[in-house]
């Protein structure tokens, strides 16, 4: 695979694909996958392009998952080179999406090509689940493909999501889970009035304050072996008319839980309502679940990719569940073993996003060895 991953990464970066545009990335990948005997399913939903490609029908099924869409570039004049013109400087490949996550997409393809060339009649099956709706609202992307697969009873045994996971050097971190995200919009009602006559009004900010304080100091859980404790944070509070002499009629607050597998959606909701009720508030509370937590304990997939990383880089990877959400939260619904592994994440979503050129072929080799570890008879 000498330099092949670099060349493909460059080709993908040159595709302008801000969310939800795919920019032609998937067709580039499809052209190479069809030559390997993959069955291609294009699953377009709204403005979002999704791809489900599978080679083989037998178990186990190893799926590589990722996204072709990228975040906005930001001010073009602050980039040292055009973000959609892949540019190599000082051993780094620059371009929007270089690390997040076109390098991983390219490495998926070249790893599979090398594996199939050497092991044409391998055990099991290989798949790719690719979307152009990960960096955006993520409602027409991976979740739709998972729904389609679930409807026809098609499950996945192992999944590697190519998110950029490494910190200081390639191979130092595998994400074997992510916290869930549960948000609430709380409206506490009062009675608007003149601030000079407080006995004629009811200040909802004053009423809500003790409940907010209790929510902030509550220990929701203690986490577990893989997750830190669940956290609750207020992100916005708004109340009042803007005038200094009016008691507001209501106050609105936005908050968010980042929660571990030590808690459930139901337990968190129940405890919040109990605290609000205990303080006698007149309120409305709307909930929004962005994703449940998922966890892949040490087992066949974690061990297979960790062994591949050590073989290629000499690094012993650390397992982590840190960071925000990823599409792994959707895939976990039909796959019991999901991990995330990709290049370093130091420049993702930043100006002058880049990836180390030397990391590209190593990343592909890690994916190739993981295919060997999971799909070859021992």
Residue 262 vs residues 45, 180, 292, 296, 359: alpha-carbon distances, Å: 34, 11, 12, 14, 36
What's the rounded Cα separation, in Å, for the pair 40 and 32? 11
What distance in Å separates the CA atoms of residue 51 and residue 111, rounded to the nearest whole number?
A: 18
Length of the chain as a residue count: 378
Query: What sign has the CA pseudo-torsion 89, 173, 332, 36?
Result: positive
Cα separation of 193 and 91, whole Å? 65
**Active-site residue (options: 22, 49, 133, 134):** 134
**What CA–CA distance (Å, rounded) separates 150 from 45?**
17
Give the three-state DSSP class for 130.
strand
The yes-or-no answer on residue 69 being catalytic is: yes
Catalytic residue, candidates 69, 135, 140, 365: 69
372 is catalytic: no
* SS3 per-residue string spanning 249-307: CEEEEEEEEEECCCCCHHHHHHHHHHHHHHCCCCEEEEEEEEECCEECCCCHHHHHHHH
The bridge status of strand 193-194 relative to strand 338-340 is unpaired
Residue carrying the six token digits 């192992």:
158
How far apart CA 167 and CA 329 sit, in angstroms, is 22
CB 315 within 8 A of CB 171: yes
Phi, psi of 213 (to 5 degrees): -60, -40
- Catalytic residue positions? 69, 134
């Amino acid at each position: 695979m000498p330099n092949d991953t670099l060349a493909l990464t460059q080709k993908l970066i040159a595709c302008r694909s801000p969310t939800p545009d795919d920019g032609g990335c998937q067709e580039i990948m499809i052209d190479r996958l069809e030559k390997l005997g993959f069955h291609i399913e294009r699953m377009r939903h709204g403005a979002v392009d999704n791809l489900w490609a599978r080679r083989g029908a037998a178990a186990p099924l190893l799926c590589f998952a990722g996204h072709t869409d990228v975040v906005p570039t930001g001010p073009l004049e602050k980039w040292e080179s055009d973000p959609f013109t892949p540019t190599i400087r000082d051993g780094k490949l620059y371009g929007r999406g270089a690390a997040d996550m076109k390098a991983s997409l390219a490495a998926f393809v070249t790893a599979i090509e090398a594996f199939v060339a050497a092991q044409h009649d391998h055990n099991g099956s290989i798949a790719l689940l690719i979307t152009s709706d990960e960096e955006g609202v993520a409602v027409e992307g991976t979740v739709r493909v998972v729904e389609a697969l679930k409807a026809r009873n098609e499950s996945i045994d192992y999944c590697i999501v190519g998110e950029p996971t490494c910190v200081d050097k390639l191979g130092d971190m595998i994400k074997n889970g992510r916290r869930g995200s549960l948000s609430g919009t709380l409206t506490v009602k009062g009675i608007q009035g003149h601030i000079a006559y407080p006995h004629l009004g009811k200040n909802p900010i004053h009423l809500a304050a003790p409940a907010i304080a209790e929510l902030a100091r509550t220990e929701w859980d203690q986490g577990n072996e893989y997750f830190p404790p669940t956290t609750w944070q207020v992100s916005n509070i708004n109340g009042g008319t803007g005038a200094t002499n009016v008691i507001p009629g209501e106050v609105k607050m936005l908050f968010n839980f980042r929660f571990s597998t030590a808690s459930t959606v139901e337990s968190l909701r129940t405890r919040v309502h109990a605290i609000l009720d205990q303080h006698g508030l007149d309120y409305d509370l709307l909930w929004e679940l962005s994703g449940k937590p998922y966890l892949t304990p040490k087992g066949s997939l974690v061990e297979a990719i960790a062994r591949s990383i050590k073989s290629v880089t000499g690094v012993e990877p650390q397992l982590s569940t840190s960071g925000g959400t990823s599409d792994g939260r959707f895939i976990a619904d039909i796959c019991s073993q999901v991990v995330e592994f990709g290049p370093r994440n130091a420049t993702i979503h930043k100006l002058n996003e880049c990836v180390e050129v030397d990391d590209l072929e190593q990343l592909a080799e890690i994916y190739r060895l993981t295919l060997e570890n999971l799909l070859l008879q021992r």
